């Protein structure tokens, strides 16, 4: 169930406190001419000198909100003519402001036309503040030689989006792609890539993007960027942002940020081992008892997730009439193959119904239609899960993957086998055991409760909303004694939580902040409410 959004930038400001305190104690060079704000970029234009028609400049700048590299834009008579990154080594800055580091210097030059002009150096803000004018100076050029700097008028902020990103642990490279443009010019803009406040490079948004050109035809076709940069990043969850650098007046724009997950490699880990093993044994026993699987179907030494997957698949195949019918048992309803008009009785497939906890009266949920999860998956186009991930701060740390308890390798399928939708969804969910809970996240490496079910069923070609209240009506309502693997189980009169049924009274879910995607017993929650088959 989504909670109110949290301001992520506020958490990034903590590291800046030491830097703010240093400003009052040490002066590296002349201070900015602009009024100082706690969030504005700070630094110094150490020199601006005219030699013939060329103005050379240098200085340093840092942003107290983020450790990313600040871009300095140069204006000629109030219009931008060029920009440069403040990423040169400045050991004096590092000594005076240790929290800023040494890569804070900048330098450059522009050529002026004849006549009198004003040149300004402006530090672009990356966080909560505003751009800072470091220095303005008046120059007069008697005779200009060569072409002068080309000015670009601007009044509106740049904008765009990050469409994709990935991290290669082998190559230690970060790849990002998207688009950005400034509405005041058709020229390409710079895009700085920032991970948890640290700048990793700058791209030029100059690649063809027909979709962007169609939406913004006045600005031309070439505003895409695709950039791969060196990035030695350790395992964990990071906030990846791209900053579109404005081509003129006005501040820069932080494009929609994403959650970047870097998984550990090769380190043993354990998660919920006892519960996983108990659930695997119970669901395996159901599959064997019903005749859907044999003991030999389960490889000796197989991990818990593999055993759950094999058992759940067998039970689903049996319910769909693709495996041996379960034996008749006195007191258990007779088995009948599932059909669009008939929802299979769990007891007929699995035996006596397990204890699921209390069932408060709920009137919401349910729709008419087929039992879609027991239909074949036909390589449908994948719906796009909503919610890129929010509330990253406070998430549990990433668990290491050893192929046993976290991110297990699931068994394959026989040649020519056509999977049921529920099998596809279960496989997708089980593969993410051990991923951290992050509110509003729907994959690929972090999830909240409805984000997990949305992600898993999207892999099966079924589109679910990223909200428990809506998921409750996005399938066929099934009774507690009709549950089959893959069904959604929802909790509480307010439908505050959702998981995916596995069998024998167990489910897979993303429980809460600080926890991981894991196997839980439904009765532990005590307020099971309703179930839906997508």
pLDDT tens digits for 206-255? 999 999 999 988 888 899 999 898 888 888 888 888 888 876 555 678 88
183 and 131, same structural domain? Answer: no
- Within a domain: 147: no
pLDDT-derived band at 39 (thresholds 50, 70, 90) equals confident
- Within a domain: 283: yes
Residue 188, helix vs strand vs coil = coil
416 and 290, same structural domain? Answer: yes
| Predicted model pTM | 0.68
List b or e across 63-97, with b for residues whose CB sees 16 or more CB atoms inside 10 angstroms.
bbbbbbbbbbbbbbeeebbbbbbbbeebeebbebb
In this structure, how many other beta carbons lie within 10 angstroms of the beta carbon of residue 410?
A: 18
* pLDDT tens digits, 97-138: 988 889 899 998 888 888 899 999 988 876 667 788 999 999
**Torsional class of 32: left (φ above 0), alpha (ψ -120 to 50), beta (otherwise):** beta
The pLDDT value given to residue 76: 85
371 and 348, same structural domain? Answer: yes
End-of-domain residue from the set 216, 240, 262: 262
End-of-domain residue from the set 85, 115, 141: 141
Total tally of structural domains belonging to the chain: 3
pLDDT-derived band at 364 (thresholds 50, 70, 90) equals low
240 and 111, same structural domain? Answer: no
CATH of the domain at 399: 3.90.1720.10
> What is the C-alpha to C-alpha distance for residues 455 and 396, in angstroms, rounded to an integer?
20
CATH of the domain at 112: 2.60.40.10
List CB contacts of 84: < 8 A, sequence separation 6 or more.
71, 72, 74, 106, 107, 108
The pLDDT value given to residue 33: 37
End-of-domain residue from the set 241, 262, 283: 262
391 and 347, same structural domain? Answer: yes
Whole-number average pLDDT of the chain: 82
The pLDDT value given to residue 463: 92
- Within a domain: 113: yes
* pLDDT tens digits, 375-433: 899 888 888 886 555 667 678 888 887 777 787 878 899 898 999 999 999 999 999 99
**Torsional class of 225: left (φ above 0), alpha (ψ -120 to 50), beta (otherwise):** beta
485 and 347, same structural domain? Answer: yes
Does pLDDT of 152 surpass 50?
A: no
438 and 383, same structural domain? Answer: yes
Does pLDDT of 341 surpass 80?
A: no
258 and 322, same structural domain? Answer: no
Q: Which residues span the domain enclosing 339?
A: 273-533
- Within a domain: 480: yes
């Amino acid at each position: 169930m989504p909670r109110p959004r949290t301001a992520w930038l506020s958490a990034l400001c903590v590291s800046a406190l030491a830097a703010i305190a240093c400003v009052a104690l040490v002066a590296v060079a002349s201070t900015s001419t602009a009024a100082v704000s706690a969030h504005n970029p700070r630094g110094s234009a150490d020199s601006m000198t005219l030699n013939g028609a060329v103005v050379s400049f240098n200085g340093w700048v840092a942003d107290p909100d983020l450790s990313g590299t600040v871009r300095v834009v140069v204006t000629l008579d109030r219009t931008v003519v060029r920009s440069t990154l403040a990423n040169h080594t400045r050991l004096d800055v590092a000594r005076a402001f240790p929290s800023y580091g040494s890569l804070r210097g900048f330098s450059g030059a522009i050529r002026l036309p004849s006549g009198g002009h004003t040149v300004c150096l402006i530090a672009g803000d990356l966080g909560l503040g505003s751009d800072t004018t470091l220095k303005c100076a008046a120059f007069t050029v008697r005779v200009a030689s060569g072409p002068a700097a080309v000015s670009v008028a601007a009044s509106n902020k740049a904008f765009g989006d990050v469409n994709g990103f990935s991290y290669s642990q082998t190559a230690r490279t970060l790849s990002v792609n998207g688009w950005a443009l400034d509405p005041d010019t058709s020229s390409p803009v710079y895009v700085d890539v920032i991970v948890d406040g640290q700048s990793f490079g700058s791209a030029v948004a100059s690649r063809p993007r027909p979709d962007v050109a169609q939406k913004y035809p006045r600005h031309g076709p070439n505003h895409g960027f695709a950039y791969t940069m060196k990035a030695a990043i350790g395992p964990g969850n990071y906030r990846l942002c791209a900053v579109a650098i404005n081509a003129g007046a006005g501040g820069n724009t932080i494009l929609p940020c994403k959650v970047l997950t870097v998984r550990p490699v090769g380190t043993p880990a354990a998660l919920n081992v006892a519960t996983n093993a108990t659930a695997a044994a119970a669901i395996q026993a159901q599959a064997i008892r019903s005749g859907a699987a044999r003991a030999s179907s389960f490889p000796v030494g197989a991990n818990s997730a593999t055993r759950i997957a094999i058992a759940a698949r067998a039970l689903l195949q049996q319910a769909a009439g693709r495996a041996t019918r379960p034996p008749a048992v006195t007191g258990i309803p007779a088995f009948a193959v599932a059909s669009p008009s008939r929802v299979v009785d769990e007891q007929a497939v699995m035996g006596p119904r397990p204890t699921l906890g209390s069932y408060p009266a709920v009137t919401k949920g349910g729709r008419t239609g087929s039992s879609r999860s027991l239909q074949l998956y036909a390589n449908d186009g994948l719906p796009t899960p909503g919610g890129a991930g929010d509330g990253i701060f406070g998430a549990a740390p990433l668990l290491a993957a050893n192929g046993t308890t976290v991110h297990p390798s699931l068994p394959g399928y026989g040649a020519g086998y056509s999977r049921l939708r529920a099998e596809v969804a279960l496989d997708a969910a089980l593969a993410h055991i051990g991923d951290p809970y992050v509110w509003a996240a729907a994959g690929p490496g972090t999830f909240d409760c409805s984000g997990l079910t949305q992600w898993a069923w999207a892999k099966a070609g079924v589109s679910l909303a990223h909200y428990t209240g809506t998921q409750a009506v996005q399938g066929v309502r099934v009774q507690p004694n009709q549950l089959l693997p893959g069904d959604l189980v929802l909790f509480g009169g307010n439908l505050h939580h959702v998981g995916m049924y596995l069998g024998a009274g167990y489910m897979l879910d993303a429980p809460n902040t600080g926890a991981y995607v894991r196997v839980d017993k439904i009765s532990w929650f005590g307020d099971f409410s309703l179930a839906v088959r997508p």
